[in-house]
């Protein structure tokens, strides 16, 4: 019909979101919710991650620009996913965690080791942990 616009989500998107909410309800991992993000004035993601136990934020200067990236368990850069898709986090090439805006984030999920990483997370750096950024639904 003219004038009606429909937006549909894939079943994979719905499944990943359902699994996220299951992990949140079970307390598996560390979660920074939209409410916490807004309560802190939507700071950079690196600032939000500083509150997560076991995460240290490192800084690197690339082409005069400060690049911030998380380190888990002392020296490992965690695998990064956005809405379930793997994203390159390569500080030396200028790709840092603050390339993502907290205003676009619904939940940041941190799984800091192999025991808590969701089954089926492909290519994850198990010893270094995983950070999932779940964006806000349009």
Successive 10-residue mean pLDDT values, the chain, 138 residues: 64 72 83 95 96 92 94 83 89 92 94 60 61 85
Tokens 């080791």 appear where?
Answer: 113
> Within its chain, how far is the Cα of 63 from the centroid?
25
What's the pTM?
0.78
Residue 93 half-sphere exposure toward CB, CA atoms < 13 A: 4
Q: How far apart are CA 66 and CA 8, in angstroms?
A: 38
Domain range 30-135, CATH class: mainly beta
Residue 67 has a pLDDT of: 95
Q: Where are the domains of the chain?
A: 30-135
Q: Write out the two tokens for 44.
A: 């950079």
Residue 84 has a pLDDT of: 85
């Amino acid at each position: 019909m003219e004038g009606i616009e429909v937006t549909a989500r894939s079943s994979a998107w719905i499944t990943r979101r359902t699994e996220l909410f299951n992990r949140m309800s079970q307390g598996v991992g560390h979660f920074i919710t939209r409410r916490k993000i807004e309560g802190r004035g939507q700071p950079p993601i690196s600032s939000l991650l500083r509150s997560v136990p076991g995460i240290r934020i490192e800084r690197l200067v690339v082409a005069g620009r400060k690049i911030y990236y998380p380190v888990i368990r002392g020296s490992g850069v965690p695998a990064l996913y956005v809405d379930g898709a793997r994203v390159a986090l390569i500080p030396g090439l200028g790709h840092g965690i603050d390339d993502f805006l907290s205003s676009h984030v619904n939940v940041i999920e941190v799984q800091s080791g192999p025991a808590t990483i969701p089954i089926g997370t492909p290519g994850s750096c198990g010893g270094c942990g995983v950070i999932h950024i779940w964006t806000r639904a349009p």
